[in-house]
């Protein structure tokens, strides 16, 4: 444990753990839930303080680990990614969309997204065709991998990364932070822990 301990009852402070969902399909989060019973083990070491699985609206301070799913594809993603970076010790680029842009970045080769959005929202609907202006955040000119916007500490590729791959990386990370050793060396990874796709 690298941070000052204690919750008052002699228990060491748990790590503060968050997940964020940018431009991805949520498949990585589904895969995270595939940890199944290991989620109980994880819960002994971490408190989940933010993410689609919590009802917290503003990204909290002093987070130890954040898994970020999805590419940076709209203005909202930029805001969340920056908040994550500013408040997290170890940012994990979680899954191929965050790591490579992946499916979310398919639009990039076609240039300006405006004509595509127009095609879907204006040309095609039978009624009320209009460009979305409210609530829906504006698209960026290109969808980019997370590390193009903020520094990333650990990369966890896969579409989605399997539960096993998440377990291998996450538990090592938790162990290492608890031991006060910072970000672990990722050289242990086999091809099974790395492969894109």
Where does this chain bind other proteins (CB under 8 A)?
93, 96, 99-103, 105-106, 108-111, 142, 144-145, 147-148, 152, 155-157, 159, 186-187, 189, 191, 194-197
Distances (CA, A) of 11 to 8, 30, 63: 7, 31, 18
Contacts of 87 (CB under 8 A, 6+ apart): 59, 60, 61, 62, 63
According to DSSP, the β-strands at 72-74 and 88-94 are unpaired
As measured in angstroms, the least distance from the Cβ of 70 to other proteins is: 13
As measured in angstroms, the least distance from the Cβ of 95 to other proteins is: 9
Query: Given the complex with other proteins, which of 60 and 184 has the nearer CB atom?
Result: 184
As measured in angstroms, the least distance from the Cβ of 169 to other proteins is: 10
Query: Given the complex with other proteins, which of 109 and 135 has the nearer CB atom?
Result: 109
DSSP single-letter state for residue 23: B
DSSP single-letter state for residue 69: E
As measured in angstroms, the least distance from the Cβ of 149 to other proteins is: 12
Query: Given the complex with other proteins, which of 45 and 147 has the nearer CB atom?
Result: 147
As measured in angstroms, the least distance from the Cβ of 130 to other proteins is: 29
As measured in angstroms, the least distance from the Cβ of 102 to other proteins is: 6
Query: Given the complex with other proteins, which of 17 and 94 has the nearer CB atom?
Result: 94
> CB–CB of 24/98 below 8 Å?
yes
Query: Across the beta sheet with 15-21, what order do the strands follow?
Result: 46-50, 15-21, 63-69, 88-94, 154-156
Contacts of 25 (CB under 8 A, 6+ apart): 97, 103
Query: Given the complex with other proteins, which of 111 and 125 has the nearer CB atom?
Result: 111
Peptide bond into 160 cis (omega under 30): yes
Q: Is 118 helix (H, G, I), strand (E, B) or coil?
A: helix
Query: Given the complex with other proteins, which of 51 and 161 has the nearer CB atom?
Result: 161
């Amino acid at each position: 444990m690298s941070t000052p301990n204690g919750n008052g009852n002699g228990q060491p402070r748990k790590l503060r753990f968050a997940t964020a969902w940018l431009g991805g399909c949520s498949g990585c989060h589904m895969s995270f839930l595939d940890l199944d019973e290991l989620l109980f083990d994880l819960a002994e070491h971490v408190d989940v303080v933010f993410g689609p699985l919590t009802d917290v609206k503003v990204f909290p301070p002093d987070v130890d680990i954040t898994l970020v799913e999805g590419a940076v594809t709209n203005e909202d993603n930029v805001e969340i990614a920056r908040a994550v970076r500013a408040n997290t010790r170890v940012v994990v680029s979680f899954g191929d969309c965050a790591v490579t842009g992946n499916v979310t970045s398919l639009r990039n080769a076609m240039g300006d997204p405006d004509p595509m959005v127009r095609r879907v929202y204006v040309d095609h609907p039978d009624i009320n065709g209009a460009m979305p202006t409210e609530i829906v955040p504006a698209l960026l000119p290109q969808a980019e991998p997370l590390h193009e916007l903020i520094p990333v500490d650990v990369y966890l590729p896969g579409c989605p990364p399997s539960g096993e791959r998440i377990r291998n990386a996450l538990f090592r990370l938790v162990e290492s932070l608890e031991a006060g050793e910072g970000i672990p060396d990722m050289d242990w990874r086999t091809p099974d822990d790395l492969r894109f796709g």
